[in-house]
Structure 1
Amino acid sequence: MMKKITSVTKKIGLLLTGLAAASLLLAGCGAGQQTERSAEGAQSAEGSSGGYPQRAIEYVVPYAAGGGVDLVARAVAEKLSEKWGQPVNVVNKPGGGGATGAQYALKQAQPDGYTVMANVVSLGSMMTAGYTNPPVKAEDQIFVSRIVQDVPAFTVKSDAQWQSFEEFSEWVKANPENLTWTTSGVAGFSSFAVAEWLNEIGVDISKTRMIVTKGTAESIPLVAGGNAVLAVHPVSEVSAMAEAGKLKILAVSGEERSPYFPDVPTAREQGIENLSAFWWTGVSMAKGTPDEVVQKWDEALAELAEDPDFTAKLETLKLQPSYLNQQQYQQFLQKETDYYTELASKLGLRK
């Protein structure tokens, strides 16, 4: 009897050993597939000699040309092309609220540093907060550096009846069903800026009407023409129409007035506190991009933040430099994502 038990035990041991070996083989194959793209990226980035970059770089903007993200990317590309002696080419890939271009840059292109992405708040913290399964995830990318920031401008048509943000907010409290506002989607910058404001003044956002647009180029004419009541975009994106007298900025929601519209009071000055949403853009790369490439971009962007020519260019765009290095950027994003996720969950915006 003892011999039979020993024989069975040996057979079970051999079976388990075989299963373990097979599991290790399968795991090795999976790991190989996951690291293959990274290895190819590292090899491509190193090149034969001379270091990165050795050829043209594709700087993907996931939006149409002419918006704030695009203009910043072009200013960066111009300076880095001069610095590195290689073309940094801005390529616009709009669609899906930014998801189309982001998926191309972060998942389809090789992670070799020759495809980078212009990131923005709506593709970073807001995308994660707005969707339980976002099409662009934080874990899909390396957040390299933040470059600039801007404050929201609450904007209505030039001949609108309201003369102040306080007066407008009182009207919205009394007539929430008459408020129409533009946004690029659930995770759009405008969605969170509007949601934060409505929450602060005690208005149920579900009683208002969201109008989804393809971006600023479509949104602003809707408001200027009276086909939507409110647009909330960064100051830089509404400035031209405001200066031309086609839009009226009722308030900016920053700690201080915008240096570009010093006569426009902040929301806080008009009795509306706790509006903290703001716009920013930076650079992201695909996971697996070589560390030395990431570092080279981070260091170059840090230098640009101190470059008088670059900061002067930002001033013409009505933008403010706001550099964060890779570590600071990650910490900032985590805090901002937590805040927006809580807000979206509270207001029923999370999809």
Structure 2
Amino acid sequence: MTFCLIKKGLTALAVLSCSTGVALADTYPSKPITLIVPFAAGGTTDIVARIVADKLGRELGQTVIVDNRGGGGGSIGAGLVAKASPDGYTLGVSTLSTHAVIAACNPKVSYDPIKDFKAITNMAGSPNVLTVNPKFPAQDFKQFLAYVKKNPGKFSYATSGPCSIQQMVGEQFKMETGTDILHVPYRGAGPALNDLLGGSVDMMFDNLPSSMSHIKSERLRPLAVAWPTRVHNLPNVPTFKELGLAAVNEPVWYGLVAPSGTPDAIIQKLNVATVKVLKLPAVQERLRESGAEPVGNSPAQHAAEIKKEMERMQTLVKKQNIQFDGS
């Protein structure tokens, strides 16, 4: 049985609202759920979302439909979630990009990443990885850093666009190491990776799942990863923390959020179901194969993660004077 605690002095409307939320949760979901992925199909966010959505639909007894709404660094899809009806039938994937980077970088973004959403859980985390084209004259990070410092302004790093997570990691790296590397923004991670593979740019700070196949085929050389420990599939690649760059050692995450105003009882039901799905061996195996690590924490914990990263990105944007040019 579910109880609502009503403080003395609250109006009948508040009591009714609480009761209605519980009643909705008891019958929820009674129709398919739309999960908005704020990036194009095929990327890391999409991969994680689809792995979880398939099993989550079975757990809830209703289909979870993945709807890719890319554009604006993820802000278009996130904005759609923020404005959706708070009934639990439109959910969104929260990412470091949508709920910290773009919101800190673009003052005109249409939503508040803290006020306009209710956190459900962090589904998975993923390392960032610094890779270089194999033609780059360095075999490890120590050689790489020495070479870059001796040649200020000569080498470039590719990103998926202005105010992207790749740019933020690159700017954090520059700030921590005192290096001068050039930012080359592209319209998406795919074109950026293609030019890195082709040798038009020298390096990239990318999500590991996007680069893993190229690392395995030795078309890219990994030099460092942002993760608490060394990555299982890359045991010889040190973490940024090991290299004395703890501030760069921040992984990315892929969470689940609902519009603000969604009843707490529905949030809790979604949290329990999603955490259960993330504990399934088949789901964990598929996530790890893609380069992501299952998490599954509480709504409060994921809300705290969003707030922490938003504040960190606001500080970085200010220190590095990062400008959003709308491209």
Q: Which residue of 2 aligns with 1:53?
A: 29
Q: Which residue of 1 aligns with 2:150?
A: 174
**Structure 1 residue corresponding to 2:255, chosen from 282, 285, 310:** 282
Q: Relative to 1, partners in 2 of residues 1:350 and 1:89: Cα closer, same or farther, differing over 3 Å?
A: same
CA distance in 2, matches of 1:149, 1:330: 15
CA distance in 2, matches of 1:213, 1:45: 44
1:93 aligns with 2:69: yes
Q: Relative to 1, partners in 2 of residues 1:282 and 1:155: Cα closer, same or farther, differing over 3 Å?
A: same
SS in 2 for 1:72: helix
Q: Which residue of 2 aligns with 1:266?
A: 239
**Structure 2 residue corresponding to 1:112, chosen from 87, 92, 101:** 87
**Structure 2 residue corresponding to 1:335, chosen from 301, 308, 325:** 308
Q: How much has 1:43 moved relative to structure 2?
A: 12
CA distance in 2, matches of 1:332, 1:102: 17
Q: What is the TM-score when the length of structure 1 is the normalising length?
A: 0.80
**Structure 1 residue corresponding to 2:188, chosen from 215, 227, 234:** 215
CA distance in 2, matches of 1:44, 1:59: 24
SS in 2 for 1:214: coil
Q: How much has 1:49 moved relative to structure 2?
A: 10
Q: How much has 1:327 moved relative to structure 2?
A: 0.7
1:294 aligns with 2:267: yes
SS in 2 for 1:58: strand
Letter in 1 for 2:308: K
C-alpha distance after superposition, 1:163-208 (max 9, x if no partner): 112222222223232222222334311112111111111135xxx4
Q: Relative to 1, partners in 2 of residues 1:273 and 1:82: Cα closer, same or farther, differing over 3 Å?
A: closer
Q: What is the TM-score when the length of structure 2 is the normalising length?
A: 0.86
Q: How much has 1:50 moved relative to structure 2?
A: 6.4
Is 1:165–1:267's contact at 8 Å kept on the other side of the alignment?
A: no
1:249 aligns with 2:234: no
Q: Which residue of 1 aligns with 2:109?
A: 134
CA distance in 1, matches of 2:111, 2:191: 24
CA distance in 1, matches of 2:179, 2:165: 19
Any gaps of 5 or more consecutive residues in structure 1? Answer: 1-41
Rg larger in structure: 1
**Structure 2 residue corresponding to 1:314, chosen from 287, 291, 295:** 287
SS in 1 for 2:59: helix
**Structure 1 residue corresponding to 2:129, chosen from 153, 173, 180:** 153
CA distance in 1, matches of 2:163, 2:45: 16
Is 2:96–2:309's contact at 8 Å kept on the other side of the alignment?
A: no
More helix as a share of residues? 1
Structure 1 moving runs of 4+ over 6 Å: 42-50
Q: How much has 1:271 moved relative to structure 2?
A: 5.0
Q: Which residue of 2 aligns with 1:24?
A: none
The percent identity for this pair of structures is 27
Letter in 1 for 2:288: E
Is 1:150–1:280's contact at 8 Å kept on the other side of the alignment?
A: yes
Q: Which residue of 1 aligns with 2:13?
A: none
- Count of residue correspondences: 307
